[in-house]
A = this chain, B = another copy of it.
Amino acid sequence: MTFTIEFQPRGLRIDSAQPINGLDAARQAGINLSAVCGGEGICGKCVIQLLTSAEEITPSEIEQKYLSPEKLGQGYRLACQTTLISDVKIYIPAESIIEDQVLQIEGGDSSHTIHTAVRQSELKLKRAHLKDLTSDFSRIKAVLKDEDLTVGLEVLRGVPALLRENDWRVNLWTRGKDIFHASAIRNVHTVGLAVDVGSTKIACYLMDLTNGSTLTAKGTPNPQIAYGEDIMARLGYAMQGSTQAETLCHLTIAAINQTTAKMCERLNISHDDIADVCLVGNTAMHHFFLNLPTGSLAVSPFVPVTTDPIYPSARELGITAMSGAAVYTPPVIAGFIGSDHLAFLLAARFGEDQRVRLGIDIGTNTEIALQVGDRIVSVSTASGPAFEGAHIKYGMRAAPGAIEHVQISENGSSEIQVIGSQPPIGICGSGILDAVAQMRMRNILNHRGRMDKTAPGVRLAADGKPEILLSTSKKPITLSQNDIDQILLAKGAIRAGIDILLDHLKVDASDIEEIVIAGAFGSYMLPEHAMGIGMLPTVPLDRVKTIGNAAGTGARMMLVSTLSRARAEELADQIEYLELTVYPDFAMFYARGIQA
């Protein structure tokens, strides 16, 4: 029995014949809910409000952790935890649509921008007889009215039996002029897979290629982590030999396949329905995925094997998809600027106007692009994993139990906000940023980044060095001078990158018309605090935008639209890479950048 789900305030409706997950339902309606964790129930961002039927849908344990009893009573739920089974009206709070800005830029109604690389057609051919002796393939070309079509041997080998066993009817998939797949006529899902391979996490999206909507999404940790926390460590491992390099390749591909299998199961489709794939990642992830040699990425001058777009066969790479499907991997820019950066700039519409715009994707490597007029210059800076909680004593990723926000009062006491409203077990990047910014504001930290041992709230640790106590509720959580040093090094690297870009393109920080910040940390952090510690230059707050996993958004745009691919390739040609380490006075910029 089919039921209807209505989404407000947009007024979008979808029908479903079977129980459907709330996140998937929103995606099918074309609404991209914020779901940093990929629907795992650990970020609590995909809040929706059930305007009807709320009493029928009991909140899960996870929802009770993230939402107050009052909110639950008002029908608030987490979309990813909710299974919709009958007619329902749902309200989407504005803050739940973190990627909406980007998608609105994409053209509002996304159906206008669907130009998929693959096309599916149902054909009915005339049967061969003695007075019409053209070959099977000539018959196909005649019906498709295109004499220039080509077809691979693999497909050609299957066509004669398909035609003769199915009354001369056949389903064909073409990419450009090439017929790459043939099957018997059946109810065909035309589905695509977009992948963003991060060093830490792999985000996968199944998209409906007929309307460009996201059917489902899922994240998984990048299993390469077992071979090195950061990229340099993994590149070092790969240099030990081709077996090691292939291990990193196979691990990534296996993780993508497993995640895709789970998504297919969720949608009750086969991986054979995946007719196209688009994959982005930093240059090391891109090379590992394609099993390209990474030796030259591991040592100076860090050059990629190629920066061109590559379009290999999915099955030859080991990706489970429709036979004949290809994987589009967009251009990379340089050794440390990958196609994820390109996808981010594509999603943020860089290169489409002449404004002074700064784009920042904060991670272990932070890529920064500055657009001034016709020019876009990008740098990569080794900011380290401090903002992801690494090398910080109580640091952790943004997950339940992490302190995500901190207020320090004049008397040095801290007020904290914890993900999942539970006793804190650590502190994540946005919390660390808050703490350092407030310590600087309260003069607990001087401009050289030294803690004032005498300031209120500061105590001496066992090693005699000062630390500030943030919480004692479950266990003492502190921030030490060493932690602060790590943060200042990280923010210093980012700020040096920004300042060098401004210097290089001869614009002043005050000229910046927009700062676009991508990435999970970028979505949680308070921009005013990022300015407070000098990570970002000070600009009016309304010029700062956060856009979540923009690389994933860009990958999805390229999956469903050859126009987006063409645009990305133009953008890749336009982007100039600037090597920071040979920039004049690099050391001076860096020294100035790390000042608190």
Interface residues of A, Cβ cutoff 8 Å to B: 128-138, 150-153, 156-157, 159-161, 164, 290-293, 295-296, 300-308, 310, 312, 316, 334-335, 577, 579, 581-582
Quick one: copies of this chain in the complex?
2
- Select one of B130, B138, B312 contacting A582, CB under 8 A: B130
**A137-B308 contact given A290-B153, A301-B130, CB 8 Å threshold:** yes
> 13 interchain pairs (CB within 8 A)?
A128-B303, A130-B579, A131-B579, A133-B335, A136-B304, A136-B306, A150-B308, A153-B312, A157-B292, A157-B293, A159-B305, A160-B292, A164-B296
**A292-B153 contact given A128-B301, A133-B302, CB 8 Å threshold:** yes
A335 proximity list for chain B (CB < 8 A): 133
Contact A292 B156 (CB under 8 A): yes
Cα distance A295–B157 in the bound complex, in angstroms: 11
**Least distance between A184 CB and chain B CB atoms (Å):** 16
Contact B306 A133 (CB under 8 A): no
CB-nearest residue of chain B to A294: B160
- Select one of B138, B305, B582 contacting A136, CB under 8 A: B305
Contact B153 A303 (CB under 8 A): no
A291 proximity list for chain B (CB < 8 A): 153, 157
A153 proximity list for chain B (CB < 8 A): 290-292, 310, 312, 316
Cα distance A134–B310 in the bound complex, in angstroms: 17
CB-nearest residue of chain B to A316: B153
A128 proximity list for chain B (CB < 8 A): 296, 301, 303
Contacts A135-B303, A135-B305, A157-B293 known; 18 new A-B pairs at CB < 8 A: A128-B303, A130-B579, A131-B582, A133-B303, A134-B303, A135-B307, A138-B308, A150-B308, A153-B291, A153-B292, A153-B316, A156-B305, A156-B310, A157-B292, A160-B293, A161-B293, A164-B295, A164-B296
Contact B306 A156 (CB under 8 A): yes
Cα distance A137–B15 in the bound complex, in angstroms: 49
Cα distance A467–B98 in the bound complex, in angstroms: 98
A308 proximity list for chain B (CB < 8 A): 135, 137-138, 150
